[in-house]
Amino acid sequence: ELEPGEREAYARDVRDARAAVRSVSGVEFDVPETVEIQNRHHWIDANVATFERVMQTLETHTGAFPGVARTINTGTMTVLLSFLGRNVLGQYDPLLLADAPTDDHALYFVRPNILNAAAKLDVDADRFRRWIAFHEVTHAAEFGAAPWLSDHLETRMEEGIATLSEGSFDRDAFRDLDAAMTVVEGYAELLMDHAFDEEYEDLRRKLDERRQGRGPLQKLFRRLLGLGLKERQYERGKNFFEHVLAVRDLETASLVWEQPENLPSHDELDAPGTWIQRVDR
């Protein structure tokens, strides 16, 4: 049960985040029409469809591993979704692999997890909620700045899945997908640094400490779900954009969204100067 004024507080945070991110990025975008304050079971219901889309993609490629989708699609997904449902705070969902227009995205906030995390971290719940809202809206800005991004990620994902199901491994497809997601995470943090209306390093530090203090079972689940990879992408992407900003500016950093060819390659992520020379002409 939402507290009086709580729904409006979420809406205000999203509106403020949209205005601030628009201002610092120069990108015209809007937040998704679907903005939901959810309980855990609502988030799981919303994401079952995402897992089903991935499974359907696997099932269309029956090559060497025809049973892989059926195997993953049993109790494993239930357990993994349950774990995520207890831990995810907010989500910008671009609805990858969906039979829907690319602008039909969604924004979710998992209220009990936000309140629980704020209490465990000993931080103000309103401030923490606002920080989560800003972070998710930065992702909306990225997909708004690059209408081609959803298709690009879907294509690389499908290519990788297709080769896996045939018993091979498309290293280039997965490297490209990893590079693109690293840019998504790093640029979001860059916008956060400029758009959020107060210091938040303490929130980031406390979240990192909480992750490091997880038990062995939780760490195993995070590895299975690729959440450790996400954190590595965040760090690598943040380092890339910090270098770009140090020698150029935010406008140069935003060149990543002009066209797919402007995305840094896997190697360029560790050599930002090479990327700058290539795209900043």
* 142-156, 197-211, 228-242, 248-262: segment of lowest average pLDDT: 197-211
- Alpha carbon distance 147, 218 (integer Å): 36
- Mean pLDDT, the chain, rounded, equals 80
Structure tokens of 19?
Answer: 């205005």
76-120 confidence digits (pLDDT tens): 566 667 767 888 889 998 766 555 544 568 899 999 999 999 998
pTM: 0.80
Strands 34-38 and 106-110: parallel
Judged against a pLDDT cut of 70, whether residue 228 lies above it is answered with: no
Judged against a pLDDT cut of 90, whether residue 47 lies above it is answered with: no
- Alpha carbon distance 73, 52 (integer Å): 8
In this prediction, residue 98 carries a pLDDT of 58
Tell me which residue of 227, 114, 223, 236 sits closest to 187, measured CA to CA. 236
Greater model confidence, 141 or 73: 141
- The mean pLDDT of 152-157, rounded to a whole number, is 83
In this prediction, residue 26 carries a pLDDT of 84
**What confidence tier does 166 reach under pLDDT thresholds 50, 70, 90?**
low
Greater model confidence, 210 or 194: 194
Grouping H, G, I as helix, E, B as strand and the rest as coil, residue 193 is: helix
- Alpha carbon distance 96, 53 (integer Å): 8
**What confidence tier does 211 reach under pLDDT thresholds 50, 70, 90?**
low
Judged against a pLDDT cut of 50, whether residue 64 lies above it is answered with: no
Q: What percent of the chain has a predicted confidence (pLDDT) above 70?
A: 75
**What confidence tier does 22 reach under pLDDT thresholds 50, 70, 90?**
very high
In this prediction, residue 218 carries a pLDDT of 47
In this prediction, residue 217 carries a pLDDT of 45
Angle at alpha carbon of residue 232, lines to 146 and 106, rounded to 5°: 40
Greater model confidence, 155 or 242: 242
Judged against a pLDDT cut of 50, whether residue 32 lies above it is answered with: yes
**What confidence tier does 203 reach under pLDDT thresholds 50, 70, 90?**
confident
Structure tokens of 129?
Answer: 């909620």
- Alpha carbon distance 97, 152 (integer Å): 11
**What confidence tier does 27 reach under pLDDT thresholds 50, 70, 90?**
confident
